[in-house]
Structure 1
Amino acid sequence: MDSEHAARPLEGRHILLGITGSIAAYKAAVLCRLLKTAGADVRVMMTPLSKQFITPLTLATLSKNPILVEFFDPENGAWNSHVALGEWADCYLIAPATANTLAKMAAGIADNLLLTTYLSARCRVVVAPAMDLDMYAHHATQQNLRRLAEQGVGIVEPQEGELASGLTGKGRMAEPHQIVAFVEEMLAEKKKTLAGKHLIVTAGATIEQIDPVRFISNHSSGKMGYAIAAELALRGARVTLVSGRTALPTPAGVERVDVLSAEEMYRAAAAAFEEADGGVMCAAVADYTPVEVSPTKLKKSEGEMTVTLRRTHDIAAELGARKGKRLLVGFALETDQEADNAEAKLIRKHFDFIVLNSLRDPGAGFRGDTNKVTLIDRRGHEELPLMNKRDVAVRIVERIERFFER
């Protein structure tokens, strides 16, 4: 039974395959066949222009389902409900996705059945962009891709190669087997690979009080740490989430410990780490805190005001010094000499690997729903493309799994 499931990883899954007007539409025939071979029930939706590149008859034969193009069948008036289609699908895969379709998705425009169904879909949505290299590199297209990623749309990065224009560069749609692998991984039920492991995750910003009104903090939303905690729990780990101030709900199956200051986070993290198998240091912890906290509001006066600061506990470094053979993952948010600073931090704090992101990368950093990171260990670097923080968390947790497999 297990070997049969492994051979058909999409068994019982409903895949809605959207095809737009790109020369890469010819690959949709192979894509449809591979989805069917993997066990999926496939329904195909086409834009009117896409029919100029591949025939509905071809795709109807391969999918074994009628092809959907218009809102209703002009022959008998049968209505193709975009709402019902969105409810039916486990995944809405748009491949190829043209620059025009991506722009309309990002703007919420619904002027055909494919786009109207996108706005109605409750399932995971995946796009495989396909266009010429200058169109792909254009600021507007990149902005649209970032916006879609922030909304949770999975993006299968296009490949570099020879394009229909005769130019060579990035914009070629990923190969069908790569797209199917992306969908399979996204829909795969999480195996409890981390059952029996106890991991702590620090997340969010600390609050360093100056007086009853004012404080020192930063822009961290906690989204990255919460996504990691959620993914660890999905894979069976017992998770203790030591959280600074945030508006995020507690992930399912996660034990949450709320703190405010760096000192409170240090105490909670150190206590939880004593019996843990490892930790992920994702919080944005203040490096300095006021030496004195005024019990009353500091009043404005003539001249300047000076607040004397002292160093806080370096939580990651102190846990690293006592970790032994346990796992410790660090984060580095840098604005210059990013890789050098992250590598130095990796060694100095005894991390097993470190997650680097730069504030200079569009779509990365605080508050947003996307991130662009590089995973660094003593063997080298793995640079990831811009993706939703939920998907970044998956890649980080996969590394954690490999650590415990050793």
Structure 2
Amino acid sequence: MATQRIKFTEGSIDKLPFSKSGTNRYADQRKGIFPNLYLDVGVKTKTWRLVKFAHGKTKSKTLGKWPAMNLHVAAQAADTMSERVADATHALPAPVVAQTKEINLRQAFLRHTTERIDPRTKEKTLNTVYDYLSTLRNHAGKNGEWLDVPIDQITRAMINAQMKAMQDRPSQATKLLRIISAIYRNEMLIRDDVIDDPTFRVRAYPSQTKELLFDPSGRWPAFDAIMKVEDVTARSAWLVMLFTGIRSSNVRSIEWADLDLEQNLLTIPRLKNGTKRTFPLSRPASAAFKRLPRIHDNLVFASKSKAGVPIAHQHALGTPKVLRQHDTRHLFTSAGSIAGIDRSKVKYLRGDIVLGDGADVGYMHGIAAHEDVEKIGHVVAQKCSTSYSNLEKLIMTH
């Protein structure tokens, strides 16, 4: 079969005409861009294949069908299979599990979160797994009923209907879509047979910039709302978020080994952006950690109802609602600006990787100090009409 060369793009692949007879084979015309990846276009289907010469033989492996398997996923699958075929211990890799066995969404989710087929993907933390599972239980059909449905029976119509039903919760709808899409992408890499991705071409909701639930030009009700939280673990987590600006997902996954309360330092092994960073803690933030009972050997903010997992995502506080978890990052950033702290320092302190403009960004390390977080803490206290000098005592005795 003669191979024709084109530039692989989503548009060019979509426009390739089906063959009137036989099969036409295509490869990318750019050297080294998509090695060993071929597209066979037949009378009715377009099929991705891995074709590689190894151990004196040409190995051919079906990867999936276009458009259910898009170019990005096909390239990842080809890379993974190429490495296995090149290994002398593998002729063609055996499936991770029997591919003929029908599995439901729950089982596919477990494979997605425990079996990294592509080594370049991030290993899922326990906190992430629990967060994803909670989203599926709450939104994957009524009361998470999709979890027990075979994955080849979940249709695009079902996904679209759920997106429409969640139009008043666009962020959760988008998150659900991304989780299910990731599960199916993983299945395409694992399975020998072909599976359709029901999330293909389903539109997510655009991200929205959320305004604060109160007027930030006046008094901030944040501290008062947090101190009304009865559970000491949840209350301390809120206080840490307020006085550090760190994302709630990172705060909830903190372990005791990450803390040095003698030096007032917190280390996050891996932030959302993949970096490790050590943060200076203000006195209120340290007090919030010291106030906590140690109910788990590793986790600082451990769930009391589910062993070995962090506390769940916290709902907005106040009646009416005045504070959401992500709002604490807004308030921390605003307080930093009011305190006159350099923009790059504030971004560093709240865990962002983008510190400024220009080539010097990658060379900035440890640019913020305790005096910066103390200044921010003073502003937060002032805006919340609270005495900063009394914060530690209030936190430790409440």
State whether TM-score is above 0.5.
no
Judging by fraction of residues, say which structure has more strand. 1
Provide the TM-score with structure 2 as the length reference. Answer: 0.26
